[in-house]
Amino acid sequence: MLDTDNIRMLLRWNFTSSRDARDGSVRWKWRAYTRGEEPARESDTAFPNLSECIADARRHGFVD
């Protein structure tokens, strides 16, 4: 039987970019939000491109 009390539905994923002040490169991070719009998970690493960021998010449950 599935314990639905402990499931945190990740309903929204956000991918953001930021510019590194040191060298001007763009880095990407992801964040997942719960049904209540609270942050639930986020990437530990900033990725050099969006493709790598999305691949990491998929390993953590992102489905597009």
Would you list the DSSP string of 7-33?
---EEEEEEEEEE-TTT--EEEEEEEE
DSSP classification of residue 47: B
Domains of the chain, residue spans: 8-59
What's the rounded Cα separation, in Å, for the pair 63 and 4? Answer: 20
Q: Is the pLDDT of residue 5 over 50?
A: no
Q: Is the pLDDT of residue 49 over 60?
A: yes
Q: Is the pLDDT of residue 2 over 70?
A: no
pLDDT, mean of residues 6-31: 87
Is pTM beyond 0.85? Reply is no
